[in-house]
Amino acid sequence: MTPMIRGRYTARLARDQADLRDAQRLRWLAFVARTGQADDGHATEADALDPQCSHMLIRDAEGRLVCSFRFLPLENGSQIARSYSAQFYDLAALQDFDGPMVEMGRFCLHPDCRDPDVIRLAWAALTRFVHDSGTEMLFGCSSFLGCEPEPHAQAFAMLRERHLAPRRWWPRVKAPQVFRFARGARQAADPRQAMAAMPPLLRSYLALGGWVSDHAVVDPVLRTMHVFTGVEIRAIPPARRRLLSAMAEQPA
């Protein structure tokens, strides 16, 4: 995939170990630093899947890394057990998916980055990667900050009302600590409050027609709760698909 330039930002795939270390350093700053762990200036966040993934980096005009995320391509659902998500969810139903899949993970922004153009470029780069690879399903984990469900009650209510996975792809419980937000009392969601409480990445997934698991997995180490999220590319609303295509094809 050729680099993409939008304004003062450039998106490209990692080329070497130095690029990968930069991504792992940014992940530490985004995911681990806020838990209070001491930083020696070189700490990184890495796992065994990194060597199997392609890593997207977005840098500003000064070369500072402001966003990164990774892709794990799978030939079809028969390889779903290789994914990061399969550590936390029983994804047996997705083994029958018969097209190419990509797991997107470790999406993060530099803590000092607030420019929405970075998110726009990230989705343009993601769209081009999905198109070039012939991907038919995009999936991953979307995280809520904190381990308590109460602050996210409105968001969980909307997910239960409108965005649960189709039964044929239903992710089952596997992790030891989960919050089953699709059970219990039926709280009606206030759409405005619910979308404000939704993580930005998950909002984007839902705008594409994405769906989620019926439960959130609690990660006490990173102090987050995450839901499995899937997007079937052929089910993306036509207007949204045209917009994404235009973003991906826009000249620098």
Residue 176's CB is within 10 A of a number of other CB atoms, namely 8
Decide which of 212 and 248 is more confident: 212
The one-letter amino acid at 17: Q
Per-residue pLDDT tens over the stretch 191-230: 889 998 899 889 989 989 999 999 999 999 889 999 999 9
Per-residue pLDDT tens over the stretch 22-47: 999 999 999 999 888 888 888 999 99
Alpha helices in the chain (DSSP H): 17-27, 116-133, 153-162, 191-197, 200-207, 238-249
Q: Which of 184, 214, 220 is nearest to 89 (CA)?
A: 214
Question: Any idea what DSSP says for residue 30?
Answer: I
Read off the CATH number of the domain in which 211 is found: 3.40.630.30
pLDDT band at 246 (very low <50, low <70, confident <90, very high): confident
The pLDDT score that the predictor gives to residue 240 is 83
> In this model, does residue 250 exceed pLDDT 80?
no
Strand partners, 178: 217
Least confident of 106-120, 214-228, 231-245: 231-245
Q: Which of 199, 195, 249, 189 is nearest to 226 (CA)?
A: 199
Q: Which domain holds residue 171?
A: 4-249
List Cα–Cα distances, 10 to 14, 61, 68, 126, in angstroms: 12, 8, 11, 13
pLDDT band at 160 (very low <50, low <70, confident <90, very high): very high
pLDDT band at 66 (very low <50, low <70, confident <90, very high): very high
The pLDDT score that the predictor gives to residue 241 is 79
Residues 6 or more apart whose Cβ sits within 8 Å of residue 36: none
Q: Which of 2, 34, 113 is nearest to 68 (CA)?
A: 113
Per-residue pLDDT tens over the stretch 80-102: 999 999 999 999 999 999 999 99
Decide which of 179 and 36 is more confident: 179
Burial grade of 241 (CB within 10 A; 0-12, 13-18, 19 or more): middle
Number of structural domains in the chain: 1
Q: SS3 for 177?
A: coil
> In this model, does residue 252 exceed pLDDT 70?
no
Note whether 21 and 55 are within 8 A (CB). no
Stretch 141-157: mean pLDDT = 94
The pLDDT score that the predictor gives to residue 217 is 98
Length of the chain: 252
- Which residue do the tokens 């079809």 mark? 76
Note whether 93 and 168 are within 8 A (CB). yes
φ, ψ at 191 (rounded to 5°): -55, -40
pLDDT band at 251 (very low <50, low <70, confident <90, very high): low
The pLDDT score that the predictor gives to residue 184 is 67
Strand partners, 218: 225
Q: Which two tokens stand for residue 210?
A: 């994405």
Decide which of 55 and 247 is more confident: 55
Whole-angstrom Cα distance, residue 31 to residue 235? 31
The pTM of this model reads 0.91
The one-letter amino acid at 203: R
